């Protein structure tokens, strides 16, 4: 059974209490998916964050960032590599074009720690220059979540 299928099964049987909820699913290969859910129903989730940790990550950080950009763009929306810091083994990827929502913009950000750990979050930035960006939830159907997980776990 694939990791995204395991997550789908876990979601179907998962009935957490009110408030922020954390779920972690670990695959036999050692890959782990962990996410915080604000709300959930039988068809979708309002996510706060989504993290993937893989046992392997033999490629360079720059190659890993490029692969994530390609895979996530296909599964979610266009995302590009913003910065790669090889000495610190960190990379930041962001939405290619932020979405305008009222008087604010929304963008996704993927933070890579080495070639093995990736954390996806969404941020909202007010249109005013004095406004500070804040983390925001993002809604995905269960099917969309499975596509995103497959994109994040994919080794190639």
The predicted structure's pLDDT at residue 20? 60
109 contacts 93 by C-beta, under 8 angstroms = yes
Alpha-carbon distance of 62 to 7, in angstroms, equals 28
Q: What percent of the chain has pLDDT over 90?
A: 32
Q: Which domain holds residue 130?
A: 3-153
Instruction: With a cut of 70, say whether residue 87 has pLDDT above it.
Output: yes
- Report the DSSP beta bridge partners of residue 140: 45
Give this prediction's pTM: 0.86
Identify the top-confidence range among 45-49, 69-73, 106-110: 106-110
Distance CA(7)–CA(131), nearest Å, equals: 36
44 SS3 class: strand
Confidence grade of residue 19 (pLDDT, cut at 50, 70, 90) = low
């Amino acid at each position: 059974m694939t990791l995204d299928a395991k997550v789908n099964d876990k979601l179907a049987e998962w009935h957490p209490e009110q408030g922020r909820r954390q779920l972690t699913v670990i695959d036999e290969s050692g890959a782990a998916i962990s996410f915080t859910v604000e709300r959930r129903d039988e068809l979708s989730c309002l996510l706060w964050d989504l993290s993937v940790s893989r046992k392997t990550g033999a490629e360079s950080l720059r190659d890993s960032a490029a692969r994530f950009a390609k895979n996530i763009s296909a599964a979610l929306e266009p995302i590009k590599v913003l910065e790669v810091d090889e000495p610190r083994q960190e990379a930041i990827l962001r939405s290619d074009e932020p979405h305008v929502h009222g008087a604010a913009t929304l963008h996704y950000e993927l933070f890579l720690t080495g070639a093995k750990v990736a954390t996806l979050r969404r941020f909202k930035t007010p249109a005013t220059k004095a406004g500070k960006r804040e983390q925001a939830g993002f809604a995905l159907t269960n099917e969309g979540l499975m596509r995103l997980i497959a994109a994040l776990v994919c080794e190639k």
